[in-house]
Amino acid sequence: MTEYAIDIHCVTKRFANFAAVDNVSLVMKQGEILGLLGPNGAGKSTLTNMISGLFPPDEGSIRIDGEDISKNRNRMKFILGIIPQEIVLYDFMNTYENLKFFGVMYNLNGRKLKQKVSEMIEYTGLEDDSLKKHIKVLSGGMKRRVNIAASLLHDPQIVLMDEPTVGLDPQNRVELWEIIRKLKSEGKTIVLTTHLMDEAQELCDRIAIMDRGKIIALGTPQSLMNGMSIQEAIIVTLEETSEKNATIFEPISGVQSVQIQENPETHGIYFRLLVGDADEILSDIVKATLNAGQKIMSIEISTPTLADVFLELTGRSIIEAERETEMISTSMEVKG
C-alpha cells in the first residue's frame, strides 16, 4: 500500500441546498484508527458513505491506496470492509447461512469459504448456539457480532465502522471495543464514526471532530484536550434530579459552563461544571447547593473530556447540536 491508506481532498456533498459535508480534506496513515466524532447530523456518516463508494462527492476526490475510488470500484470492494450502523443481515437465514452468503459475495467458495467463516466465528466470539438461530431472534449484541463477521470475511485492509456500538449495553460495548483493538493490532486501518466521546477517547489514535459538515478540530485525544482553556470539571449529582437545578451553579464565579447530562445506566440527571480550578471553587458549589435546599448525593472532580472540547469549540453541547440538526431536518421536510 502507499503512504496514505486514505486521502480525502476538498470533498463536498450536498442534498438539495444543504451541505452535509463541506470542503473536507483528510489523510490517514496505514494502521491507524481515526475517529469521526460529532453529533448526529454532523456529516460523519455521509463522509463514510462517500469513502465506501456508496455515492460520489459533488466536489473533490477520495483516493484509497493511492487510487481514485471512482476509477476501480471492483478493487475497492476487496480493500474495504464496511460495517454499517444498520444490521445488514437476512432475517430468514440463520447466522451460519448469512456468513456463507456474504462470503460467496466476496468470491469465496468451497474449503476457503468454510475456513474463513469458521475463523470469523471465533474472531468475533459468536456463540455456538447462535449459529443455527435465525437473525431475528438474536440479541442486539449478537447481531452486531454477525454484522462485523460478515464484513471481515474477505480480510479487508481498511475497515469503515459507522456507529458500531449504538444501542448496545455497556458489556457488549466493551467486548466490541476488544474486537476493534484486535483489528488495530493486525495493522488494519479503521475509520470509526461515533458520537460517543468515551468511545473515541478510548480507541482512536486521532480524532476529527465534525460539526455542520466541516472538520473543526483534528488531533490525538490528548492534544485536543490539552488545547482547552478549562482545567477541570466537577460532576455533581443531586437527590432531586431536575434540569432546573442547573440554575444553582450558573451564577457561581469560576463556573464557565454547566452541562446537564444523563447517566446511560441509571438514566438519572447529573451536572457537569467546567471550571478553572476545582479546589478553589468546590466549597462555593457545596454552599450554593445547600442554600438552594438541595441534597448532594455525590460530587467528584474530573479532567476535561472530548465532550468539553466540542462545547468549547462550538458553544453547544453534543445534545444541543443534535437538537439543532433535528430542527433543520424537520424544516427541510416541511419545505419539501
The pLDDT of residue 107 is: 93
With a cut of 80, say whether residue 98 has pLDDT above it: yes
In the predicted structure, residue 60 carries a pLDDT above the cut 90: yes
Residue ranges per domain, the chain?
A: 4-227, 233-302
User: For residue 73, what pLDDT is reported?
Assistant: 84
Give pLDDT tens digits for 18-41.
899 999 999 999 999 999 998 888
Once rounded to an integer, what is the mean pLDDT over residues 102-130?
94
Classify residue 160 by burial, with Cβ atoms within 10 Å: 0-12, 13-18, 19+: buried
Lowest mean pLDDT among 176-180, 193-197, 200-204, 285-289: 193-197
**Mean pLDDT score, 321-328:** 71
Q: Looking at residue 91, what is its pLDDT?
A: 93
Has residue 111 got a pLDDT over 90?
yes
Average pLDDT over residues 129-144: 93
The reply to whether 233-302 shares the fold of 4-227 is: no
Per-residue confidence (pLDDT) for residue 159, from 0 to 100: 97
Average pLDDT rounded to a whole number, residues 87-114: 95
Give which of 183, 152, 216 is closest to 30, Cα–Cα.
183
Helix or strand run (H / E) with residue 23: strand 18-29
Q: Mind listing the pLDDT tens digit for each residue in 257-273?
A: 888 887 767 778 899 89
- What mean pLDDT, rounded, does the chain reach? 90
pLDDT value of residue 257: 84
For domain 4-227, give the fold: Rossmann fold (3.40.50)
Give the pLDDT mean for 225-237.
84
Burial of 131: CB neighbours in 10 Å, binned 0-12, 13-18, 19+? middle
**Chain center to CA of 257:** 24
Q: Does position 1 have pLDDT exceeding 60, yes or no?
A: no
> Is residue 105 pLDDT above 90, yes or no?
yes
How many angstroms separate the Cα of 117 from the Cα of each of 82, 104, 159?
Answer: 17, 11, 18
Written as nine digits, the cell of 138 is 438474536
User: How confident is residue 315, by pLDDT bands cut at 50, 70 and 90?
Assistant: confident
Please identify, in words, the CATH class of the domain defined by 233-302: alpha beta
pLDDT score of 116 more than 70: yes
Quote the CA–CA distance of 260 and 283 in Å, as a whole number: 20
pTM above 0.85, yes or no: no
Q: Is 72 helix (H, G, I), strand (E, B) or coil?
A: coil
